[in-house]
């Protein structure tokens, strides 16, 4: 999934979310133009750029971050980066206990992190673990959100005896409107940062790079 949003001081003005698969390089920029046209706005009116910094698919993250950096450099804008897991959890910020956001990271592992609201804060940094280990670490009232499939939901119910619950799939769709709200909050607190200062979060090295040469015999 890919998502774009336009906000005014964190209040959503327009949003487009679509199944991009691996077509970020050809679909992202035209969709930005469409979003601005839909809202009756222009690039010259933009005052900041917010972008998801991962973890997630290598190509999608690089395209998203480099596009945000390009806009920021060209238009002299501050940027704010927010993590994917934090954005998933932030949608559930009304929950009074611990909020655990997860996404499938391949090889049977989960990427996950934990947060609390009032005040909003990260209590466990993003990391990789086996699903059973993630569930086992649930303490007290816990809400699981993000990419929670039926198997993981059943594991949560069985292992926690009802102490933990799973967020509805209907409110777990990743949306840029959430990034717009959290990004504005961070911008108001810190003023944003230079585009070059953005750092993408990878929990596992990308499966690309220089190839090993065969040993000479």
**Calpha distance 95→88 (Å, rounded):** 13
Q: Determine contact, residues 126/112, Cβ cutoff 8 Å.
A: yes
What domains, with CATH codes, occur in the chain? 2-83+173-197 (3.30.420.40), 92-171 (3.30.420.40)
pLDDT (tens place) for every residue of the chain, 217 residues total:
899 999 999 999 999 999 988 888 899 999 999 999 999 999 999 999 999 999 988 888 999 999 999 999 999 999 999 999 999 999 999 999 999 999 999 899 999 999 999 899 999 999 999 999 999 998 889 999 999 999 999 999 999 888 899 998 877 788 999 999 999 999 999 999 999 999 999 998 766 555 444 444 4
Q: Determine contact, residues 136/159, Cβ cutoff 8 Å.
A: yes
pTM for the predicted model, two decimal places? 0.89
Closest CA to 139 of 149, 124, 153, 150: 124
Which pair of structure tokens corresponds to residue 123? Answer: 């209590």
């Amino acid at each position: 999934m890919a998502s774009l949003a336009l906000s005014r001081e964190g209040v959503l003005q327009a949003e487009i979310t679509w199944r991009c698969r691996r077509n970020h390089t050809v679909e992202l920029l035209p969709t930005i133009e469409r979003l601005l046209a839909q809202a009756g706005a222009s690039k010259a009116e933009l005052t900041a750029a917010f972008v998801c910094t991962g973890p997630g698919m290598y190509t999608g993250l690089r395209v998203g971050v480099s596009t945000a950096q390009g806009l920021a450099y060209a238009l002299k804008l501050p940027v704010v980066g927010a993590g994917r897991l934090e954005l998933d959890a932030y949608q559930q910020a009304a929950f009074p206990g611990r909020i655990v956001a997860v996404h499938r990271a391949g090889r049977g592992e989960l990427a996950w992190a934990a947060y609390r609201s009032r005040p909003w804060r990260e209590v466990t940094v993003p990391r990789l673990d086996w699903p059973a280990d993630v569930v086992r670490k649930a303490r007290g009232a816990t809400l699981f959100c993000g990419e929670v499939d039926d198997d993981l939901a059943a594991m949560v119910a069985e292992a926690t005896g009802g102490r933990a619950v799973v967020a509805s799939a209907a409110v777990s769709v990743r949306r840029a409107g959430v990034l717009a709200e959290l990004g504005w909050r961070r911008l108001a607190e810190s003023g944003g940062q230079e585009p070059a200062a953005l750092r993408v979060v990878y929990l596992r090295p990308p499966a690309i790079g220089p190839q090993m040469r065969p040993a000479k015999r």
